[in-house]
Amino acid sequence: MRVMRYEDAVERLFQAPHDQFVVERKRLAGELKAAGDKDGAARLAKLGRPPISAWAVDQLWWRARGAFDALFDTAERVRRGEVGATAAHRDALARLRGEAVQILSDAQHGTTEATLRRVTQTLSALAAAGGWAPDAPGALSDDRDPPGFEAIGISNVIPFPVQPRPVREAAHAPDTATHEAREPDAAARARRDADDARVRRDREAAAARAGAAADLRRAEAERARAAAERHRLAAALRTAHGDVAQREREVVKLERDLAYARSLVAQAKAVVIGLEERLAQLEN
């Protein structure tokens, strides 16, 4: 049986469902401690649960490695100044964004525009940095903010929305044959761009519908939990009222008993006084 290592525990932890993160962290820390790695257990216990957007990026690393590799590869090509690399980089970002929508929907998490924007920003930051450091791959505990792309050689990389690239005019007018040859290519590119835009719109609309359905399910579950809690509290309140009434009855009884006991004390004192008086008379 293989002994649990800290790196193995990190990989397992950050692949766990978002709502099971804390429970899984405690379990894995226990395994590390049992394996004799107390330092690793302590380090693992300090790892914070990522926000849902960073969790989605982590899952992209574990579930869509090829798309992630393409993201890093196209970012490197952009830094080298390769022709067409910027469009390829945008496509890689768009693919990962679509995968994130699917991952979030499958896990019944919302796919709001704010969440997807944070996902895209974190992906852009990782691409700009060329890796995950200082975190382990697929183990982000928080979102990343992308640095200025110009500082690292990636300029004008705007992930969303994807805009058609302008065509530079030649220094001199092209000949008629060249112009005619370019027209079909331009029309084909326009059709492809239109098809891509339609696919993206359909995918985003489907993601929005899935997110709305998930939000509705969560709202219904929350209402059910609230109704159950109201029922529990109402039952507890009835029990508390009953306890108060019982204690009040006990207090009344105790007060009667106390009054009776006081009367007995008074009678005993009277007897004591009478005896003392008689004793005094006899002594005289």
Angle of CA points 49, 54, 57, to nearest 5° = 130
Give pTM, 2 decimals: 0.54
- Residue 130 has φ and ψ, to the nearest 5°, of 75, 15
| Predicted confidence band of residue 108 (pLDDT cuts 50, 70, 90) | very high
Considering only residues 255 and 151, tell me which one the structure prediction assigns the higher pLDDT.
Answer: 255
Of 11-15, 242-246, 250-254, the one with minimum mean pLDDT is 242-246
Which pLDDT belongs to residue 267?
86
Considering only residues 236 and 143, tell me which one the structure prediction assigns the higher pLDDT.
Answer: 143
Report which secondary-structure segment, H or E, holds 183. helix 176-283
**Two structure tokens written together for 134:** 């200082």
| Predicted confidence band of residue 278 (pLDDT cuts 50, 70, 90) | confident
Q: What is the mean pLDDT of the chain?
A: 79
Residue 146, pLDDT > 70, answer yes
Which pLDDT belongs to residue 48?
95
Q: What is the mean pLDDT of residues 236-264?
A: 73
| Predicted confidence band of residue 112 (pLDDT cuts 50, 70, 90) | very high
In angstroms, the CA 267 to CA 158 distance is: 99
Q: Are 97 and 116 in contact (CB under 8 A)?
A: yes
| Predicted confidence band of residue 248 (pLDDT cuts 50, 70, 90) | confident
Q: What is the mean pLDDT of residues 270-280?
A: 84
**Two structure tokens written together for 198:** 């339609």
